[in-house]
Amino acid sequence: MRLISIFCWVITTSASSVFQLNTTSYHSPDLVEATLHFTDESWAIAEPTPITYLSLPETNITIEALKSTISRILSHDDVFSESFLPILVLGGSSILSHDAEAYLNSLGCLTIHTAYSSDLMPGPYLIHPADTITKVYRLYWDHNFAFVESVTEGPNGTYLPVTGLASTDVYSTLSIAAVHKKRFTSKAYTGYPKRVVLPEELWPTINETSMPLYNAFITKLATFLDANVETINDNAGFNAYSKTTEGLASYIGLTYSNITNYNQYRLLGQPFQQGYIAKFGRAPYW
């Protein structure tokens, strides 16, 4: 049997939960995905707890079917790991074979609960004291500052910013929330775009050394999303719409510099000036 040591802490606010399994950080927004109804009503949740939810079509789940399902999730999912397996919730009326149960124990599963059928997709979740289920996002630090805002899916097609303890580290680095994928199931995406759009102004890249890596990634991305790869000319579209000939780049550059300069002065320059005056009784050099 393989022994897995799991370190977990959960901090809950009014809007979300942030927790760690071993050294990996996760975020779970306060948006209920489902409410589970357990066949064992004596099981009670005292605090938000990470779980794995599985629902298989077989009535009697064999070790082969279980291994295949868990291996598929582990290989296709950015969030799920064996750290979620100490508590397993099995949806539906399926029964685990002795070999399947022994296999789960070898992965570190300590408790198995059964619940009535649910529309939940298999994967990692956070269960709350009222038996409600919320999504789990894995947090990746954006040390290259590639993102302006980190968001998660909200109700009715909206997106909500990641806030509080999950938003930034001590260096104001954003943490980008990645939700667990559903591609490992037989269902296809229904709400994602069917095109991967590449701007002609930036494609192909000037650095030809990086092109094989980009091409490989875009090919895999298009296959994963079942999408077509298309190129567009941003400048041509902008010129036709605005009836100009300068293209979009010059306007974007001007807008970026204006916003950046304004925010730098408002958030850095003015506080510095006010603090300088308060301490020395006169304005700094400007």
Higher-scoring residue by pLDDT: 265, 193:
265
Task: Note the pLDDT tens digit of each residue in 111-142.
Answer: 999 998 778 888 999 999 989 999 999 888 77
Q: Is residue 275 situated within a structural domain?
A: no
Is the pLDDT confidence value at 37 over 70? yes
Cis peptide before 204 (omega within 30 of 0): yes
Q: Is residue 144 situated within a structural domain?
A: no
The confidence band for 6, taking pLDDT boundaries of 50, 70 and 90, is: very low
Task: Collect all residues with Cβ–Cβ distance below 8 Å to 192 and sequence separation of at least 6.
Answer: 225, 227
Q: Is residue 183 situated within a structural domain?
A: no
Q: Is residue 145 situated within a structural domain?
A: no
Residue 217: both structure tokens together = 């990634």
Pick from 147, 151, 148, 127: nearest CA to 137: 151
Is the pLDDT confidence value at 182 over 60? no
Task: Note the pLDDT tens digit of each residue in 55-108.
Answer: 988 889 999 999 999 998 888 888 999 999 999 999 988 899 999 999 999 999
Task: Specify the pLDDT at position 15.
Answer: 55
Q: Is residue 254 situated within a structural domain?
A: no
Beta-bridge mates of residue 18: 11, 27
Q: Is residue 147 situated within a structural domain?
A: no
Q: Is residue 63 situated within a structural domain?
A: yes
Q: Is residue 102 situated within a structural domain?
A: yes
Is the pLDDT confidence value at 157 over 50? yes
Instruction: Provide the number of structural domains found in the chain.
Output: 1
For residue 33, give its domain range: 8-138
